[in-house]
A and B are shown apart, each in its own frame.
Chain A
Amino acid sequence: MTTMTTTTMTPEAPALAFWVRAFFQRCWRIGILLLLLAASLGMSQLAVAQADTDHEMVTAAPGISADQWRQVRSGETGPNYRDSRFDSNYNLINSSGETWRQIRNRWVSPFGLIAIGGMIVVIALFYFMVGRKHLDEPRTGRKLFRWSLLMRSLHWTVATLFITLALTGLNLLFGKFVFRTLFGDAVWAWMISASKVLHNYLGPIFGVLLVVLLISLLKDNIPKKHDWVWFKKAGGLTGKHHPDAGFANGGEKAWYWLLATAGLVVIASGFVLDFPNYGQGRDTMQWANIIHAVGALGLTAVALGHIYIGTVGTEGSLEGMTTGYVDETWAKEHHNLWYEEVKDTAMSEEEIAAQKTGSSSGDVSATKPS
């Protein structure tokens, strides 16, 4: 497109052209810069080409002072600030926007990817070098009741929601670098809008259910002295024997408290972002976004560890969360203190089957023994 202007101008010195272009390249400051220029070139006058320049110098209203622009830059508005937009709570220049952009794009995105990718690599290396943790003793065949149907349902619901939120969240942060070029706009538009809708609507459900889960698991996750020993022995990675552990071991308690702190912060910041209709400003949402992203990426990375340990990483763990029962040997090796408490309740497969048919609601209403 050729140049279009309201006035025809004579071409001017190239040096100036260069500087003007340099100014425009710093685009987001352009408004301020050019006008600062106007102000500082100042003692400036009303913007009319009057006949007598000297007269104009004396009589015209003062130009815009550097102080005024400093105020604009700081984001202050003051009592005599007006914005013609209805119900606007914006200042003239949203200077924190660039800060948010830099934090998000330069720090959160790449380091989030490194955290999650790094975790996958570490887990893969661990699996191939150390391998699965098998039970040291053969199974006894007798089972201990560990997770009620209610707790299992709660766990798997929260887990499914967590994974959905993690995948949609990752898509919101990184998807455009992969899927847009891979699938084209039609598929990408559907993918990303589905991601956003799922993320925004499932998020609050996850938030509520995680709180319920945390409350119902609180009793088993109070830190004890032996948990410290558990950590010093790296959960049994060092030394020959498993360190002492109650119903929940040190690592599980750490995961619990991470969810109870960082998890709640992610949920709280998520609510701030999800409901923009409560008058929270841009600055609030910028920070909420950074906190949300950092927390969620961190939790996702740690969750990969939790998923590994709970499934392929440890023999006999997953069945506790699927069937509700664990083998005696597993309990003795991984949760010796808990085993001592509940070993009298061990049952054979037949007894469990008999109990299930005997009382139709037996398993459902059974509370977790402790």
Chain B
Amino acid sequence: MAQMKFMCDAERCIECNGCVTACKNANDVEWGIQRRRVVTLNDGEADEMSISVACMHCDDAPCMAVCPTDCFYKTDDGIVLHDKDLCIGCGYCLYACPFGAPQFPQQNAFGERGKMDKCTFCAGGPAESKEEEYEKYGSNRIAEGKLPLCAEMCSTKALLAGDAQDVADIFRQRVVHRGHKDGAWSNNPQASTDNLAYDAARKG
């Protein structure tokens, strides 16, 4: 069973917002809502850094813990989804979420929040039919054996999506290729035995 995770390699992200656009397009996200956002720190300075953020599908998800209607659930792949039929728009998930993932359409009187919307890891949500699912939650690429479109379309492959183990493996390899002396093993004696600092590019 997979544990689906996103990871954004901040040293690769070039702030192109392709992920934001891909997500909007793949899921037909409603007006005013942007499931993924790109944050840039120290914009215009030498140490400028960007990172793409959406729902991180937490193991111990704070949104699930605080939801008064208990509308969240976790799929077998560790994806955090929610049932819009149960959502009452109280905003508690937004207070709790570390990543600012939940968003609410504000079309009603007195600023009343509509049904919460957030990244589904392109896994849709609970619905009677495919059409209803698409209408409410956007596409279900996971059911088609595909990964979230944001990560698939990331031009620098800064944004990774997939099983936690695989994402971690890719990231570790990158760190190795970035040339750290103990190959990302932080003085772990096993590093030398496994020869993880071996540089594939160098070998030619």
Contact = CB atoms under 8 A, between A and B. Distances in A.
Interface of A: 1-7, 9-10, 12-13, 15-17, 20-21, 23-25, 27-31, 34-35, 37-38, 41-47, 49-54, 56-57, 61-65, 68, 71-72, 78, 80-86, 88, 90, 92-95, 97-98, 100-101, 104-105, 172-173, 175-176, 180, 185, 188-189, 192-193, 195-196, 200, 273-278, 282, 285-286, 289
Interface string B55-90: 011111110011111100000110000010110111
A38 B39 contact: no
B98 A98 contact: yes
B111 A276 contact: yes
Summarize A's interface: helix, strand, loop or mixed.
Answer: helix
B166 A9 contact: yes
B130 interface: no
Contacts of B149: none
A51 B42 contact: no
B38 A44 contact: no
Summarize B's interface: helix, strand, loop or mixed.
Answer: loop
Contact of B5 (A10, A30, A275): A30
A278 B69 CA distance: 25
11 contacts: A3-B2, A3-B166, A12-B169, A47-B158, A49-B174, A49-B200, A65-B47, A80-B41, A80-B44, A80-B48, A196-B90
Contact of B162 (A5, A44, A82): A5
Contacts of A29: 98
Interface in B174-204: 174-175, 177-180, 184-186, 188, 190, 194, 196, 199-202, 204
A72 B53 CA distance: 13
A192 B34 contact: no
A50 B179 CA distance: 9
Chain B CB count within 10 A is highest, among A30, A45, A104, A289, for A30
Interface of B: 1-3, 5, 7-12, 15, 17, 20, 32, 34, 37-49, 51, 53, 56-62, 65-70, 76-77, 83, 85-86, 88-92, 94-100, 106, 110-113, 142, 145-147, 151-152, 156-158, 160, 162-175, 177-180, 184-186, 188, 190, 194, 196, 199-202, 204
Contacts of A64: 10-11, 47, 49
10 A-B pairs with the lowest CB-CB distances in the bound complex, closest first? A277-B111, A27-B58, A53-B179, A5-B166, A47-B12, A20-B168, A82-B40, A176-B70, A90-B100, A49-B177
B96 A41 contact: no
Contact of A94 (B69, B70, B100, B172): B100
